[in-house]
Structure 1
Amino acid sequence: MMKKKMHYLLLGLAVLFPATALAAPTGQALAFTCAGCHGTDGSSVGPSSPSIAGMDPEVFIDAMQGYKFDERNSTIMNRIAKGYSEEQIKSMAWFFAKQPLKLMPQKHDAAMAKLGARLHDEHCEKCHEDGGKPGDAGTLAGQWMPYLHYTMDDFIDGRREYPRKMKRKVDAAIEAEGDRAIPALIHYYGSQH
């Protein structure tokens, strides 16, 4: 009787093993590779890496595809993104979308943040709703200020293509407040936590 049970147990394991060996890694397992820069749950603790927790899955997928096909400027993400399949990218996108965004307080200039809030309301709120909180246009609220600064430099210097309508809105904010516009917006987004 014991020999027969062992036979069935081994037969069952033999049937299950190939399915287990072929199972794709989960979004969570794949996301561990992002932890060094973006935090274990997508909430970055480093000033030059964005938080990706709570990110709209389509925004994540678009960003990764942009990196993968060298359509988006980066120091290292282009190489990293090339290593993932479309399914793996989707799996990570859904994992990060479900993670709560944890924001860290940052030093900011209150007067600049106040000006930035006004500029946001006048020029950015339509796409970056609720003060730039996570949504289908990405997350601005609470992102690290150095990251926002580097990203805006990439847009303004032509290293990154502006999304639809963004250039016109940024130009209008700069026309309204000159050289203070971008720093004011950065202080406003960085002031939120």
Structure 2
Amino acid sequence: MNNNETLHKSARHVLLAVLAVLPAAVSAGPSGQAMAFTCAGCHGTDGSSVGPSMPAIAGMDPEVFVDAMKAYREDERNASIMNRIAKAYSDEQLKEMGWFFASQRLNLFPQTYDAALAERGAQLHDEYCEKCHEKGGRPGDAGTLAGQWMPYLHYSMEDFLNGKRKWPRKMQRKVDAAIEAAGDTAIPALINYYGSQQ
């Protein structure tokens, strides 16, 4: 076999290898990062929201992200437009987006908070919330509370308390205990505490 035949045979093998993987590459669709760009208007390009009624989702546990998106998709979670948006994505696409946001660094923005309420909120957090929301509510498998926008936390708690959002396991019992201990100031105190965490 001469050099020319060897070259043609090698080129043919390379071409066959490319053709074999091309359908998989084409069918793979957009990356999690590309799909996440559709979230930028509300949640920021990296998941660090700059709008106080929109949650920051950078650094979020990917399973928490997927669970939230599935709840929106199934109309099990109160939303303005998220339920319509979530319906556009498959389970696999949600996982890819979740891993993208999990890999992003959470950038927090200073908020105005009541120092006395935040101090009481720190005590309530330590007693009732720390077990699930570890390290003062830092990103984890129970979501992100530390540094989260206070208006968003307020709206979320209203949804839980008004029955518009399903309570996660054990959360209602803990919130009820905090309210019993601190009365009407319990929720504002916790919100101010989380808002104070940078």
Structure number with larger C-alpha Rg = 2
One-letter identity of the residue aligned with 1:102: N
Instruction: State how far apart, in whole Å, the 2-side matches of 1:176 and 1:54 are.
Output: 32
Question: Does residue 88 of structure 2 align to residue 83 of structure 1?
Answer: yes
Deviation digits for residues 29-58 of structure 1 (CA, Å, limit 9, x no counterpart): 010001111110011100011011110111
Deviation digits for residues 95-146 of structure 1 (CA, Å, limit 9, x no counterpart): 1111111100000011110000000001000000000000110000000000
Q: Which runs of 5+ in 1 are unaligned?
A: none
One-letter identity of the residue aligned with 2:157: M
Q: 1:95 aligns with which of 90, 95, 100?
A: 100
The corresponding residue for 1:43 is 48
Residue 173 of structure 1 aligns to a residue whose secondary structure is: helix
Q: Which runs of 4+ in 1 moved over 2 A?
A: 11-23
Instruction: State how far apart, in whole Å, the 2-side matches of 1:17 and 1:87 are.
Output: 20
Q: Identity across aligned pairs (percent)? A: 71
**Aligned-pair CA distance for 1:22:** 2.5
One-letter identity of the residue aligned with 1:145: M
Instruction: State how far apart, in whole Å, the 1-side matches of 2:28 and 2:129 are.
Output: 43
One-letter identity of the residue aligned with 2:173: R
Over aligned residue pairs, what C-alpha RMSD do you find?
1.9
Q: 1:22 aligns with which of 17, 23, 27?
A: 27
Q: Which runs of 5+ in 2 are unaligned?
A: none
Q: How does 1:51-90 map to 2 (within 5 A)?
A: 51-90=56-95
Deviation digits for residues 135-174 of structure 1 (CA, Å, limit 9, x no counterpart): 1100000000000000000000000011111011101111
Residue 140 of structure 2 aligns to a residue whose secondary structure is: coil
**Aligned-pair CA distance for 1:12:** 4.7
Instruction: State how far apart, in whole Å, the 2-side matches of 1:103 and 1:67 are.
Output: 25
> How does the TM-score come out when normalised to structure 2?
0.89
Alpha-carbon spacing, 1:171–1:19, altered in 2? closer, same or farther (3 Å):
closer
Instruction: State how far apart, in whole Å, the 1-side matches of 2:127 and 2:26 are.
Output: 54
Q: 1:137 aligns with which of 142, 150, 154?
A: 142
